[in-house]
């Protein structure tokens, strides 16, 4: 496929559009999408011990401890499909300790995408967000409404998607973002995430295709 072996990290505040862009990126580049938040919600749904512990932190908008998150992400990255197709890591690392832990296991990204969105827009996006439990697709009651009545009727809301909770999640993000960014400065691409999802994707798409061209050129395949 086009993106073969590409290693991508995508980061940004809560509701900056990480999941939405990951849907568009995986459709075109066929990378393995690994979302830390989705892995944690799967643990909660499975009723595991780590899921129970994680939920306490998620309800407070705080980072789930490294003992849980690092192993979970490392295990998913270690599956054969991730090495074969390449990966798109969403919502990880959120601290310098998470970043260095992953490096120690030998996982190093080619590019670090940062979605930048002003805070007032973020609250609006969180409150209107809905999820389709059947397809896993992300909707917004205003900006990306469901296509049919049938889909509309089955949409669900995340337990941490209230105005109060998103403010806590934002605080956590603001406390940690600089320390993570400073570790990836040389490969960071900052993207204006306040534009339409198509326009945001156009910027990411061109950054990824440039990267593929560079990689091919350095392999003598250009
Ligand atoms: P996580 O699930 O990762 O949540 P988050 O970071 O708060 O990000 P979101 O999933 O809320 O937003 P998104 O950026 O994916 O936006 P989306 O595309 O859906 O984490 C949840 C919790 O788990 C954390 O609080 C923490 O406790 C824990 N956790 C996770 N990772 C961890 C880690 N590494 N370490 C420790 N703890 C961790 O878009 C949002 C809405 O906006 C949607 O409705 C969408 O339709 C709409 N939208 C998107 N793009 C646009 C656009 N361009 N224009 C208009 N609307 C748009």
**Residue ranges of the chain whose pLDDT lies below 70:** 1-3, 221-222
* Token duo for residue 11: 């980061």
Q: What's the farthest any 2 CA atoms get from each other in the chain?
A: 53
**pLDDT for res 23:** 97
Total domains in the chain come to: 1
Residue 43 maps to a domain: yes
Summarised one tens digit per residue, pLDDT across range 42-62 is 999 999 999 999 999 999 999
pLDDT (0 to 100) of residue 218: 84
Task: Please indicate whether residue 154 is annotated as part of the active site.
Answer: no
Range(s) of the domain holding residue 193: 6-214
Atom 1 (ligand 1) nearest CA: 37
Q: Is residue 14 part of a domain?
A: yes
CA of 213 to the centre of ligand 1 (A): 30
Q: Assess if residue 18 is contained within a domain.
A: yes
Going by C-beta distance under 8 Å and a sequence separation of 6 or more, which residues neighbour residue 127?
A: 161, 162, 163, 166
Structure tokens at 96: 């310098």
CB 91 near ligand 1, within 6 Å:
yes
In a domain, 88, yes or no: yes
**What is the pLDDT at residue 219?**
80
**Cβ contact 18:91 at 8 Å:** yes
Among 24, 36, 132, 171, say which to mutate for ligand 1: greatest number of ligand atoms within 8 Å of CB. 36
Full 3-state SS string of 10-40: EEECCCCCHHHHHHHHHHHHCCEEEEHHHHH
Residue 210 lies inside a defined structural domain of this protein: yes
Tokens 């990290």 found at: 9
For the question of residue 158 being annotated catalytic, the response is yes
**Ligand 1: distance of its center to the CA of 218 in Å?**
35
Q: Report how far ligand 1's centroid is from the alpha carbon of 18 (Å).
A: 6
222 within a domain of the structure (yes/no): no
| 219 assigned to some structural domain | no
CATH code of residue 92: 3.40.50.300
Is 96 a domain residue? yes
Specify whether 125 is catalytic. no
Q: Which of 7, 94, 125, 165 is catalytic?
A: 94
**∠ CA(5), CA(11), CA(12), 5° rounding?**
155
Residue 127 has a pLDDT of 94
């Amino acid at each position: 496929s086009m993106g073969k072996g590409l290693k991508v990290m995508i980061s940004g505040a809560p509701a900056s559009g990480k999941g939405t862009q990951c849907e568009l990126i995986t459709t075109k580049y066929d990378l393995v999408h690994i979302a830390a938040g989705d892995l944690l919600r799967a643990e909660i749904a499975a009723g595991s011990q780590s899921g129970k512990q994680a939920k306490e932190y998620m309800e407070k908008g705080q980072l789930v401890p490294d003992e849980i998150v690092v192993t979970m992400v490392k295990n998913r990255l270690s599956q054969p499909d991730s090495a074969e197709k390449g990966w798109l890591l969403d919502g990880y690392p959120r601290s310098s300790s998470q970043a260095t832990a992953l490096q120690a296991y030998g996982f190093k990204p080619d590019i670090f995408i940062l979605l930048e969105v002003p805070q007032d827009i973020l609250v609006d996006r969180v409150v209107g967000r809905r999820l389709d439990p059947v397809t896993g697709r992300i909707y917004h009651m205003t900006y990306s409404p469901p296509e049919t009545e049938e889909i509309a009727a089955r949409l669900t809301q995340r337990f941490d998607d209230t105005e109060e909770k998103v403010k806590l999640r934002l605080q956590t993000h603001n406390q940690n973002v600089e320390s993570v960014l400073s570790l990836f400065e040389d490969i960071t691409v900052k993207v204006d995430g306040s534009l339409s999802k198509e326009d945001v994707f156009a910027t990411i798409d061109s950054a990824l295709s440039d990267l593929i061209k560079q990689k091919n050129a350095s392999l003598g395949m250009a």
